[in-house]
Chain A
Amino acid sequence: MFENISLAFQGIWGHKMRSFLTMLGIIIGIASIITIVSTIKGTNDQIKESLIGSGTNAVTVQLYQDNYAYTITSYNPAPQGISPISEDTRQQLADLDNVVDVSLYCRRRVDSYEGDVCYMNRAYSGDLFGVDEHYFSAAGYRLSYGRGFLADDHARFRKVAILDTGAVSSLFGGEYPIGQILEIRQEPFTVVGVVEKAARSDFAIETMRDYEMYADNTGGRVFIPLADWPIPYAFDEPQAVVLKAASTDDMTRIGQQAEDLLTASQITDAAQGFAYQSDDLMSQAADIQKLSNATNNQLLWIAGISLLVGGIGVMNIMLVTVTERTREIGLKKAIGARKRRILWQFLTEAAALTSLGGMIGVAAGVALSRFIASAMGTPTAVSYPAIAVAVLFSMFIGVIFGMIPAVKAANLNPIDALRRE
């Protein structure tokens, strides 16, 4: 077997030009497949990173009704029968494996025509959050200017507010916000700080809902201490949770464990149809990736056709080779080579030829995808499983398309083969 392989490579080396031309179809096919796959993988990695990664590894677990995220508004009031999250439950969440930080918060969507949040005569549309002292670090915010919430703010129910940059621009325009007074349900709150998402300067899409929201509402976010929430609103509004995971790989599991825990502890029989659900960012990433994969799969089919053409080219040359080497085959049979040995010899040659073509194709594909990436600025990532599959598959092509010539060789009648000059 090993001798067959080394003889096969000697044969390829002996006819460099012809072998190269024969392999060309395979090389082109494999190179385009590797290029496409590398580009797909690069794009997917990028999507995953921008959706999940953002450095924060934040898992949001919030209230859902019949599988839709439940957003509290003036016309969509807080449901009955869902108690605020106790310190005990919070501790249980913090004790889950690889949870780095836990934060509780309340959230409402407010609209300008209701006038819930105003500065001077300007009303605000967007999100209003009541957040505990862990929120900004768990959800991945960074102080932009001013100050954050202090322990004292929570303990003494200070009426202070922090805005994100979106809220600043919609409420204050160009004005300096720190020290200004916001009215939240007629209660004065002093703006003490401005925050922004820590991970990237452009907006990070954390959930699909965020994405949809972002599309129709760029109002931004206004934060007040969770302890103050009962001042403008009710003390028993349901809360949501942000958990910071140690790594992205933990996010899905932590999300599920938190869902179960919160649904069991918070949802009473009075709240029919409600449940806590996590935003499964992994599966959302997969959804978006599917979209880009669909288009690229069509490209893969086209590349597959060039492999087919390459395979036919190999078959053609192998048939010529068999004819050229009739005498060799006849002699080998005359001195005792069995049919199967001749069959293997030619299959090995075809497979060696296409495997080599596959390897050259992989190298060309990796080089090409790097070149495209640097020239067009698109992402690329080498996929090692794809490389292994490509080489194995090209070997497989050799076996498939080498079969007819090999069978032809094996079935040659030794006397006819020897008679031919």
Chain B
Amino acid sequence: MLLEMRDICKDYPQGKELVKILKHVDLTIEEGDYLAIMGPSGSGKTTLMNIIGCLDVATSGTYRLNGEDISRASENHLADVRNTTLGFVFQSFYLLPKLTARDNVALPLLYAGVKKRVRRERAEEALTMVGLADRIDFMPSQLSGGQQQRVAIARAMINQPKILLADEPTGALDSTSGHQVMDLFDELNGRGTTIVLITHEPAVGQRARRVRRILDGRLLAEGEGGVGDAW
């Protein structure tokens, strides 16, 4: 079992009181899985994703990732887990505007302590893999949205993570670029990368192997809530 969440709750203070955002979430993900999480706006998808991605810690419950108990890990250890075990893709890419595509992609390797020459080589390979071999030295501002998102995917994959986490990766893209990104995800999953994806779009959700719906902070059982409904 790659990932196991038991009874995860997350509260946020809103004004004076605590608001329960995630309510008793149980989730297991096996190696090689491809899971889409869908739900209406404000239902807690990003909150759940942040906890899965070790960017945030749950208020209660246990979370085991890759065989270790994450709930009690130190801040530095969480940073290392994010660096090596997880890859992130965000809706608005988050590339550093002053770095070239190659340097953006190589950044996680810098934090992993990889030598500069190796970083450059591997960044080049990763960019080739996402089909941007001819855009290696471009600045983000010189790339289209779809290209930027593929650079971000190359960055997420550079450390060969166990899980790729994507929060609405196609949300800011036109349908053609969106398709390209989804094809890339299929390909990565085909090569064994576990993918967890958040999306609004049923078409995107359908390409995953499984879909889990989240409603008002509760994660519904598989198949519950229907597949075809658009929120």
Contact status B98-A334, CB under 8 Å: no
**In terms of DSSP, what is the predominant structure of the interface of chain A?**
helix
**CA A338 to CA B107, docked complex, whole Å:** 13
Scoring A residues 187 to 208 as 1 if CB is less than 8 Å from chain B, else 0, what string do you get? 0000000000000000000000
Given contacts A414-B55, A415-B55, A418-B90, contact A335 B108 (CB under 8 A): yes
**CA A415 to CA B79, docked complex, whole Å:** 13
Report which of B84, B90, B111, B156 forms a contact with A338, defined as CB distance below 8 A: B111
Contact status B76-A331, CB under 8 Å: no
**CA A328 to CA B110, docked complex, whole Å:** 15
Report which of B53, B96, B110, B112 forms a contact with A331, defined as CB distance below 8 A: B96
Report which of B56, B96, B112 forms a contact with A336, defined as CB distance below 8 A: B112
Cβ < 8 Å to A, chain B residues 90-125: 90, 94, 96, 98, 107-108, 110-112, 116
Contact status B83-A335, CB under 8 Å: yes
Interfacial chain A residues near B116, Cβ < 8 Å: 3
Contact status A335-B107, CB under 8 Å: yes
- Is there a chain A Cβ closer than 8 Å to B207's Cβ? no
Interfacial chain A residues near B75, Cβ < 8 Å: 338-339
Interfacial chain B residues near A418, Cβ < 8 Å: 55, 90, 94
Contact status A338-B98, CB under 8 Å: no
Contact status B111-A328, CB under 8 Å: no
**CA A337 to CA B55, docked complex, whole Å:** 12
Size class of the B contact interface (CB-based, 8 Å): 20 to 34
Interfacial chain B residues near A336, Cβ < 8 Å: 79-80, 82-84, 108, 111-112, 159
Cβ < 8 Å to B, chain A residues 297-347: 327-328, 330-339, 341
Interfacial chain B residues near A334, Cβ < 8 Å: 53, 55, 82, 88, 94
Scoring A residues 2 to 41 as 1 if CB is less than 8 Å from chain B, else 0, what string do you get? 0100000011001000000000000000000000000000
Interfacial chain A residues near B56, Cβ < 8 Å: 415
Interfacial chain A residues near B94, Cβ < 8 Å: 327, 330-331, 334, 418
**CA A10 to CA B53, docked complex, whole Å:** 32
**CA A179 to CA B75, docked complex, whole Å:** 100
Q: CB-nearest residue of chain A relative to B93?
A: A331
**Least Cβ distance of A411 to chain B in Å?**
10
Scoring B residues 187 to 201 as 1 if CB is less than 8 Å from chain A, else 0, what string do you get? 000000000000000
Q: CB-nearest residue of chain B relative to A333?
A: B79
Contact status B111-A337, CB under 8 Å: yes
- Chain A CB within 10 Å, residue with most, of B50, B55, B96: B55
**Least Cβ distance of B158 to chain A in Å?**
9
Interfacial chain B residues near A331, Cβ < 8 Å: 94, 96
**CA A228 to CA B55, docked complex, whole Å:** 102
**Least Cβ distance of A283 to chain B in Å?**
57
Size class of the A contact interface (CB-based, 8 Å): 20 to 34
Scoring B residues 69 to 93 as 1 if CB is less than 8 Å from chain A, else 0, what string do you get? 0000001100110111000101000
Given contacts A334-B82, A335-B88, contact A10 B98 (CB under 8 A): yes
Interfacial chain B residues near A335, Cβ < 8 Å: 82-83, 88, 107-108, 111, 155-156
Q: CB-nearest residue of chain A relative to B165?
A: A334
Scoring B residues 205 to 224 as 1 if CB is less than 8 Å from chain A, else 0, what string do you get? 00000000000000000000
**CA A11 to CA B96, docked complex, whole Å:** 13
Interfacial chain B residues near A414, Cβ < 8 Å: 55
Q: CB-nearest residue of chain B relative to A325?
A: B96
Cβ < 8 Å to B, chain A residues 326-385: 327-328, 330-339, 341
- Chain B CB within 10 Å, residue with most, of A11, A336, A338, A341: A336
**Least Cβ distance of B119 to chain A in Å?**
10
Interfacial chain A residues near B83, Cβ < 8 Å: 335-336
- Chain A CB within 10 Å, residue with most, of B108, B116, B159: B108
Report which of B76, B108, B112, B156 forms a contact with A339, defined as CB distance below 8 A: B76
- Chain B residues engaging chain A, CB cutoff 8 angstroms: 50, 53, 55-56, 75-76, 79-80, 82-84, 88, 90, 94, 96, 98, 107-108, 110-112, 116, 155-156, 159
- Chain A residues engaging chain B, CB cutoff 8 angstroms: 3, 10-11, 14, 327-328, 330-339, 341, 414-415, 418
A-B contact pairs, 5 of them (CB 8 A): A14-B98, A335-B108, A335-B156, A337-B79, A338-B76
